[in-house]
């Protein structure tokens, strides 16, 4: 098991380039199943989750080539199997994304229950609802079996704005007969990326970026070249790192328009940034003071489906709040186990009251001290790294495999910004 050895108290300064969006790359790999022609994906992050997704694609009969870093050429002429391998399915939740494409191309998909981060209950009901409405039959048990002679367009109202549920429905609907109207659809930037890729393959999708998607089925999709957008979760993490350590950071290759919800939330903590083109600049000398609501009320930062504040940044902004003067309420409404990592921050010296599984009151600034930590999931692991970076003394963060599933070459990129970090096997 790998670990990071970190000596804190050093501002991070310099320039870093944003990686491609993991949550866009994964469904785009699955979408490559929808054609027998070559698909070239650019700006693919070199991380574990992407590698596992590519292993599944290869196991189904696909060819994967890597002509250069962050580029993959995919081709799958004839699908050899409609069953997802158990070993890969256990590693990532995104394995469920092969259900829609496999149904559309072969009329069958067999998937073991997907794995992924343990951050609370993560329903799959929305996937079943959408695919059933399109004409699939679903059997549950030790594996999920989807089957359909023919998929037909339908008017579907999703029971929740599930990102992966929306993506599965869209991938199934693009080759279905007739028109599908998908209401209460997720509209996150990675969902938009998937839809744009499908359009470049010949799909007909209207309403991209909204919560109502109209999909007119086509008889065939074609190959394409598509560039994955910047990972706004990673950009938000680097913004948090810069602010918490008192650094001065330029983030290249970002999509500033994707950071607007985060800018409102960070603004409540007295943290802001400027942008020019695709470069975001987080300057030093931030006020780092809570901006109270009208009447001097304690402000609240709460997550929500897009365009709300992204739930994956809740862990990041919680640790940043420990370095800010004032009190703020963090309300994580979507996952009941994501906030349980705060006991580690409290042990480091943070002043946090965990009110219940969803709410934490943070008062700062707190002087954190180094500690031994274990990363429970991708985002909480990154939050612990930020805490270690702004703490006094040395910290050890174990199980960094969880962090590296979502952050490309993290230790090297942080070291290039001045961080005192060593990766140890």
Residues marked as catalytic: 117
What phi and psi, each to the nearest 5 degrees, are found at residue 259? -95, 5
Of the candidates 270, 252, 197, 199, the one whose C-alpha atom is nearest the C-alpha of residue 227 is: 197
Sign of the Cα torsion 19, 371, 342, 401 reads positive
Structure tokens at 383: 């939050």
**Cβ atoms 89, 115 nearer than 8 A:** yes
The rounded distance, in Å, linking the Cα atoms of 291 and 168 is 40
Helix ranges (H only) for 80-182 are 86-89, 99-106, 125-133, 163-173
Of the candidates 181, 180, 178, the one whose C-alpha atom is nearest the C-alpha of residue 219 is: 178
Of the candidates 355, 321, 351, the one whose C-alpha atom is nearest the C-alpha of residue 339 is: 355
Sign of the Cα torsion 339, 340, 344, 346 reads positive
Residue with tokens 């692991």: 381
Number of continuous H segments (helices) and E segments (strands) in the chain? 14, 23
**Beta strands 351-356; 359-364: pairing state:** antiparallel
**Beta strands 326-331; 351-356: pairing state:** unpaired
């Amino acid at each position: 098991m790998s670990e990071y050895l970190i000596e804190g108290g050093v501002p991070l300064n310099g320039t870093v380039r944003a990686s491609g969006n993991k949550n866009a790359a994964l469904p785009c790999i699955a979408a490559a199943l929808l054609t027998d022609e070559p698909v070239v994906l650019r700006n693919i992050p070199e991380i574990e989750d992407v590698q596992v997704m590519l292993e599944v694609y290869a196991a189904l009969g696909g060819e994967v080539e890597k002509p250069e870093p962050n580029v993959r050429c995919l081709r799958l002429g004839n699908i050899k199997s409609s069953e997802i391998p158990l070993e890969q399915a256990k590693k990532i939740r995104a394995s469920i994304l092969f259900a829609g494409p496999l149904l559309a191309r072969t009329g069958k998909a067999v998937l073991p229950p997907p794995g992924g981060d343990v951050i609370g209950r993560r329903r799959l009901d929305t996937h079943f609802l959408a695919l059933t409405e399109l004409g699939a039959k679903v059997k549950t048990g030790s594996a999920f079996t989807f089957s359909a002679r023919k998929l037909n367009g339908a008017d579907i109202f999703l029971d929740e704005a599930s990102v992966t549920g929306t993506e599965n429905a869209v991938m199934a609907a693009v080759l279905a007969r007739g028109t599908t109207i998908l209401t209460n659809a997720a509209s996150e930037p990675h969902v938009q990326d998937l839809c744009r890729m499908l359009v470049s393959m010949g799909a007909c999708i209207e309403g991209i970026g909204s919560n109502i998607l109209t999909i007119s089925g086509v008889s065939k999709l074609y190959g394409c070249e598509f560039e994955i957008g910047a990972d706004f979760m990673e950009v938000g993490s680097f913004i948090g790192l810069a602010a918490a350590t008192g650094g001065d950071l330029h983030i290249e290759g970002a999509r500033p328009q994707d950071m607007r919800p985060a800018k409102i939330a960070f603004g409540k903590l007295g943290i802001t940034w400027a942008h020019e083109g695709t470069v975001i600049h987080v300057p030093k000398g931030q006020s780092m003071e809570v901006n109270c609501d009208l009447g001097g009320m304690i402000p609240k930062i709460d997550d929500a489906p897009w365009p709300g504040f992204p739930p994956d940044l809740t862990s990041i902004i919680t640790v940043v709040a420990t370095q800010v003067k004032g009190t703020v309420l963090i309300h994580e409404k979507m996952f009941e186990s994501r906030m349980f990592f705060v006991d580690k921050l409290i042990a480091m010296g943070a002043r946090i009251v965990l009110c219940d599984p969803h709410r934490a009151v943070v008062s700062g600034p707190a002087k954190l001290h180094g500690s031994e930590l274990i990363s429970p999931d991708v985002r909480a692991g990154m939050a612990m790294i930020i805490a270690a970076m702004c703490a006094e003394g040395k910290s050890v963060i174990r199980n960094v495999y969880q962090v590296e599933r979502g952050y490309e070459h993290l230790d090297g990129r942080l070291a290039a910004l001045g961080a005192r970090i060593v990766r140890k096997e």
